[in-house]
Amino acid sequence: MTQPPVEPSPETPGAVRIYWHLPARRPYVTYLILASCILIYLGQRLSQTLFGDDLLIALGAKVNSAIVQGQYWRLLTPLWLHGSILHLAFNMYALWVIGAGLERYYGHGRYLALYLLSGYAGNVVSFLMSPEPSVGSSTAIFGLLAAEAVFIYQNRHLFQNARGMLMNIGGILLVNLILGLSPQIDNWGHLGGLIGGLAFAWSAGPVWETTYQMNGYHLTNRRKGSQALWVGLGVAVVFTLLVVLRVGWL
């Protein structure tokens, strides 16, 4: 993500100093997710070597029949499981490219909520719409991509080429959704993650406003953490109710 231009040179006549207050300087949550996914994948490979089967996949994949029987953790644990080294590499690269910058604008807590809610929403929609088992963090990554688009749109006055950036994100989404038509890819999970990320980001993502103080102009987020908390709870409740209704009908 491109940071809006800042003009910090008071020596230049007419220059204005603008302070850009990022909630997070280092993307520690992204680092943690990357490390945990890699370590768990190593655990998957070790399980295959020692026991001849991937016990972590068996215990944590999105499997509809197991979820109906009460194993609801399977709506979150697939975020840390991957089917192959290429699957892991592609998702971790996407997480780094999208997530590291986004976390700096969202802050650690708000970003973690976005990631988990997007992944949860993706697995819920997959549970509702697809009978096939699935794993992977791409449900959450699609939510991050939606959140990046929302952030740029809602703060478009800060970007020099917001339209071009949004078109680029739209193109990436379209290509990946088309690729998701392959039978091996859980496109319903991608769509669910996209919806979950969009729902959270639209009402809880950072919206920056300019305020003047004695030492210059400051860009600060006008959406407080409490708003993000309530929006996050609302999104989680909506998708949980969908699971409850579906299980009740079966």
Tens digit of pLDDT for each residue in 1-18? Answer: 444 444 444 444 455 566
Look up 47 and say whether it is catalytic. no
3-state secondary structure 100-131: HHHHHHHCHHHHHHHHHHHHHHHHHHHHHHCC
Per residue in 110-148, pLDDT (tens digit) is: 999 999 999 999 999 999 999 999 999 999 999 999 999
d(CA 133, CA 127): 9
- CATH, domain range 24-249: 1.20.1540.10
* pLDDT, position 157: 85
Catalytic one among 138, 182, 203, 226? 138
| pTM as predicted | 0.89
Per DSSP bridges, beta strands 216-221 and 208-213 are antiparallel
Per residue in 192-212, pLDDT (tens digit) is: 999 999 999 999 999 988 777
Is residue 65 predicted with pLDDT exceeding 50?
A: yes
Average pLDDT score over the chain: 89
Residue boundaries of the structural domains of the chain: 24-249
Catalytic one among 21, 182, 190, 226? 190
Look up 130 and say whether it is catalytic. no
